[in-house]
Chain A
C-alpha cells in the first residue's frame, strides 16, 4: 500500500498549499492594516474584508497539522517537538490575532483599538515569518539523530537561509493580501493597495531570486529533483511577471490569481524538493524521515483516505460558496461587523 504514503504526502502538501494561498492573503491584509490603512475606517474595511474568511482559512493549518499527526506521526512528533520555541511564538501570535479581530471593535477607546491594531499586525507578520523559517529549515536539513529526535540549536533553526525564506513568505503574503484588498475594496484604498503591491513586487522578486539561488547552492533539492523544480521555477517566474502586468493594467482578479499561483508554486516546490523525504537530517542521510519510516500503518492510512476523500469535496464546496456569498466589496459606509 505504498501508494497511500505518496497520496498522504500529497494531501499534507495540498493542505499547506491551501493554507498559504488562503490564509496568505488574510495575513497580508492583517499586515496592511498598518502598512496601507491610514484611518480607523480604512482599517475596519480591511478587517471586515477578511472577516467571514480568516477563521476557516486558519483551519487549513490545523487540518494540515492533524493530517500530519494521523498519517505521519513521526514527522509530526519530530517537527513539533524540534521546533518547540518557534511554535510557542507562532501560537502566541495566532492566539492574539484571532481574538484581536473579535475584540477590537468591542470598546470605543483609542488605546484599546491601537493595542489590538498592533496585535493584528504582529499576529499577521509573525506566523508567515516563522513558518517560512520552518519550511526553509525543512529543505536545508536539521540535526536529526538516529532516534528521530531533532536537537536543534537556535542557529540551526534561524540562519541566513531560513531568514530569507521567512522574509520571502512574509512578502508573498503581503503582496497577495494587497491584491485581495484590490478585489474587496473601492476608491482610494483600492488604488493605493494596487500601487503598493506594484512597488513591493521588486523586493519580492529579489527575495524569491535570492531564496532560489541559495536553495540551489545550499541544499540538495535540485540534485534530487532538478528537472521538475526548474520547470516549476519557470512557470513561477511567468506567473510573477504576469502578476506585475495585470497590476499595471488593473485586472485585479487576474493579478490576485497570479500572486496566488506564485504562492502555490513556491510552497509546492518545497514539498517537491523534499519528496520522498519529509525531514532531512543534517547529521546522516540514514536518519532522514521519509514517507515510509514516518508514516502510519497501511490500515490507518486506508481509513483516513476514505474519510478525507469523502469529506474534502463538501469542505471545498461550502468554503467556495462562502466566498461567493461575500463577493461584494466592503464599503466604509455600510454596517460593519468588526
Chain B
C-alpha cells in the first residue's frame, strides 16, 4: 500500500466518520433551539422536556463530532503538507476563520447551555442554544467555502510557485459555495429531523410517552420535509452548475462516455466497463438529463472521452476520468435516499396534520424508524460523489492528489495512524449507539442517571456514623 492510497484512505475514513456526527449536531441544534423557543414563548413545561431530552442525544453526539473534527483540521498538515504549502495562502484562511468565528461560539455557548439551565434567565439561556445553532451553521459555511475552492478555485493567482489569495470576496461568493452550502446545510437539518422522527416513531410504536413523542414527531417532520425538498432543489441547482464547472464529474456521474445526444436521457441503471470505456446495458429515462443539466427538455451533455481529450490538451497527458462506477452509483444512491426522504416527509406531515399520529399506521412508523438511515446514506454518498468525482485533482485544474501528500511521512506512519484512528472510531461508534439507545429507552421523564443514591453530604455521613456509634 503506498502513501497516497493510505493518506486518501485516512482522509475518506475521517471525513465520512466526522460527517456522521456533524449533520446530527447541526440538525439537532436547530430543532432544539426551535423547541426551546416554543417553551419560552408558550411557557409549557413539555417543550422544556423536549429540549432537554433531545439535548441529551445532541450532547453525546456533539462530543464525538468535536473530537473527530480536531483530526479533520490537523490532517491537512500531517498527511497533505505539499497541498498545505501550495494552497495554504488561500485555504488556511477559511479554516482559521471557522475556528475563530464558529468553534469559539459553539464551544463557549454549549458550555453555557449545558450548565446554565438554573443559572441564566430563560431568555438568555434560549439565546445560548440559538448561538450554538448559528455557530454550527457558520462552521459549515467556512469549511464548505474551503471545499468549494477545491471544486472550483477562485479568488487567487499563481505566484511564488503557489496559489495566493487575491480576492477574498470571490471566495465568499464562489458560485460553487452558493449551491453547495444550502444543499449541505439543509441536508444536515433533515438529518437531525429524521433522527427525531425515527426515534419518536419507535417510541410511538411502543406506545411510550405518546404525547411527548407525538409533538416531537410533529415538529421534526415539518423541518424534515421542508429541508428534504430544499436539498433536492439545491441539488438540482448544483447539477446545473456542475455541468459548466466540472463537466467531467457530471459525465462520470452519468457514466456517459460519448456524447449524450440531444435531448439527453438520464441513465437509471448501467453496467459499466471502465476498461473498455463503454457501458453494457443501460436503462434510460428520456429527456431527464437535459432537464437536470439545463432545466429544459433539450440540450446535449458532453461525454468523458471528449472531455478527456480536451483536458489532455489543456493540462497535458494523463488520465482525467475519475472512478466512474463509484461516481455513478454514489449519485444514484444519494438521489434515491433523498427522494425517499421527501416521500416519507410528505406522508408523515400528512399524518401529523390529520392528527393521526395517535393510532399510527404500523408499517409507516416502522419505515420512519428505518428512515433514520436515509440522510446518512444521502450525506455520505453525496460526499463520495463530490470528492471521488473530482479526481485526479485535489484542487480542480491546479493540483493533483498524488502531488499533494507529505513527502516526509512514510507509508508505515500513515498505516499506523489509519489503524489507530479507525479503531478509535469504531469504539466511539459502538459507545455512541449504546448511549443513544440507553437514553431513548429511558425516555424523557426518567430521573438522571448519574445521581448516586447515597448522599455525599459530609453532614449526612456524620449522622450515619453517630447512628452506628449509637447502635454499637
What are the residues of chain A within 8 A of B416 when measuring CB–CB? Answer: 85, 88
Q: Are B119 and A326 in contact (CB under 8 A)?
A: yes
What are the residues of chain B within 8 A of A41 when measuring CB–CB? Answer: 452, 456
When A84-B78, A311-B101 are in contact, do A103 and B63 touch as well, CB less than 8 Å? Answer: yes
- Give the bracket for the number of chain B residues in contact with chain A: 35 or more
Q: B268 at the A/B interface (Cβ < 8 Å)?
A: no
Q: A102 at the A/B interface (Cβ < 8 Å)?
A: yes
Q: Are B116 and A296 in contact (CB under 8 A)?
A: no
Bound-state Cα–Cα, A79 to B413, Å = 15
Q: Are A296 and B92 in contact (CB under 8 A)?
A: yes
Shortest A83–chain B CB gap in Å is 8
When A62-B70, A311-B101, A326-B115 are in contact, do A70 and B160 touch as well, CB less than 8 Å? Answer: no
Bound-state Cα–Cα, A81 to B82, Å = 10
Q: Are A149 and B90 in contact (CB under 8 A)?
A: no
Bound-state Cα–Cα, A56 to B439, Å = 26
Q: B107 at the A/B interface (Cβ < 8 Å)?
A: yes
Q: Are A77 and B450 in contact (CB under 8 A)?
A: no
Q: Are A91 and B71 in contact (CB under 8 A)?
A: yes
Please provide the chain B residues from 252 to 273 with a CB less than 8 Å away from any CB of chain A in the complex.
none
When A91-B70, A92-B424, A108-B450 are in contact, do A99 and B63 touch as well, CB less than 8 Å? Answer: yes
What are the residues of chain B within 8 A of A51 when measuring CB–CB? Answer: 111, 114-115
Please provide the chain B residues from 30 to 79 with a CB less than 8 Å away from any CB of chain A in the complex.
59-60, 62-64, 66-68, 70-71, 73-74, 76-79
Bound-state Cα–Cα, A333 to B417, Å = 43
Q: Are B112 and A52 in contact (CB under 8 A)?
A: yes
What are the residues of chain A within 8 A of B435 when measuring CB–CB? Answer: 103, 106-107
Please provide the chain B residues from 282 to 307 with a CB less than 8 Å away from any CB of chain A in the complex.
none
Shortest A119–chain B CB gap in Å is 11
Q: Are A99 and B64 in contact (CB under 8 A)?
A: yes
Q: B108 at the A/B interface (Cβ < 8 Å)?
A: yes
When A84-B78, A107-B438, A149-B407 are in contact, do A55 and B88 touch as well, CB less than 8 Å? Answer: no
Q: Are B409 and A81 in contact (CB under 8 A)?
A: yes
Bound-state Cα–Cα, A80 to B165, Å = 22
Please provide the chain B residues from 389 to 441 with a CB less than 8 Å away from any CB of chain A in the complex.
406-409, 413, 416-417, 420-421, 424, 428, 431, 435, 438
Nearest B residue to A91 by beta-carbon distance? B71
Q: B9 at the A/B interface (Cβ < 8 Å)?
A: no
What are the residues of chain B within 8 A of A74 when measuring CB–CB? Answer: 85, 88
Nearest A residue to B104 by beta-carbon distance? A315
Q: Are B159 and A66 in contact (CB under 8 A)?
A: no
When A99-B67, A311-B101 are in contact, do A303 and B168 touch as well, CB less than 8 Å? Answer: yes
Nearest B residue to A143 by beta-carbon distance? B408
Q: Are A300 and B66 in contact (CB under 8 A)?
A: no
When A56-B104, A296-B164, A297-B165 are in contact, do A67 and B78 touch as well, CB less than 8 Å? Answer: no
Q: Are A338 and B95 in contact (CB under 8 A)?
A: no
Bound-state Cα–Cα, A78 to B438, Å = 45
Bound-state Cα–Cα, A110 to B263, Å = 68
Q: A286 at the A/B interface (Cβ < 8 Å)?
A: no
Nearest A residue to B82 by beta-carbon distance? A77
Q: Are B114 and A81 in contact (CB under 8 A)?
A: no
Q: Are B88 and A69 in contact (CB under 8 A)?
A: yes
Nearest A residue to B405 by beta-carbon distance? A81
When A74-B85, A81-B406, A102-B59 are in contact, do A55 and B66 touch as well, CB less than 8 Å? Answer: yes
For chain A, what secondary structure do more than half of its interface residues adopt (helix, strand, loop), or is it mixed?
helix
When A102-B63, A318-B108 are in contact, do A62 and B85 touch as well, CB less than 8 Å? Answer: no
Q: Are A52 and B115 in contact (CB under 8 A)?
A: yes
Proximity bits, A301-338, B CB within 8 Å = 1, else 0 = 00110011001100100110010011000001101111
- Which among A66, A79, A148, A149 is the interface contact of B92 at CB below 8 angstroms? A66
When A63-B103, A84-B413 are in contact, do A95 and B73 touch as well, CB less than 8 Å? Answer: no
Nearest B residue to A95 by beta-carbon distance? B67
Q: Are A73 and B88 in contact (CB under 8 A)?
A: yes
When A85-B413, A102-B60, A147-B407 are in contact, do A337 and B93 touch as well, CB less than 8 Å? Answer: no
Q: Are A299 and B63 in contact (CB under 8 A)?
A: no
Q: Are A151 and B88 in contact (CB under 8 A)?
A: no
Please provide the chain B residues from 96 to 152 with a CB less than 8 Å away from any CB of chain A in the complex.
96-101, 103-105, 107-112, 114-116, 118-120
Q: A150 at the A/B interface (Cβ < 8 Å)?
A: yes
Q: Which of B64, B111, B452 has the most chain A CB atoms closer than 10 A to its own CB?
A: B111
Closest 6 CB pairs of A and B: A73-B88, A80-B77, A70-B92, A52-B111, A69-B92, A66-B96
30 pairs from A and B in contact (CB 8 Å cutoff): A51-B111, A55-B111, A58-B70, A59-B103, A65-B77, A66-B97, A66-B98, A70-B92, A71-B96, A76-B77, A76-B84, A80-B74, A80-B81, A81-B407, A84-B78, A85-B416, A91-B71, A94-B70, A95-B424, A99-B428, A102-B60, A103-B63, A106-B435, A296-B92, A296-B164, A296-B165, A326-B115, A332-B456, A335-B448, A336-B450
A residues contacting B by CB (< 8 A) are 39-41, 44, 51-53, 55-56, 58-59, 62-63, 65-71, 73-74, 76-82, 84-85, 87-88, 91-92, 94-96, 98-99, 101-103, 105-108, 147-151, 187, 296-297, 299-300, 303-304, 307-308, 311-312, 315, 318-319, 322, 325-326, 332-333, 335-338
17 extra A-B contacts, CB within 8 A, seeds A65-B77, A304-B97 = A44-B450, A56-B108, A59-B103, A69-B92, A69-B96, A70-B97, A76-B77, A76-B88, A80-B76, A84-B413, A91-B421, A95-B71, A98-B66, A105-B449, A108-B450, A297-B164, A300-B92
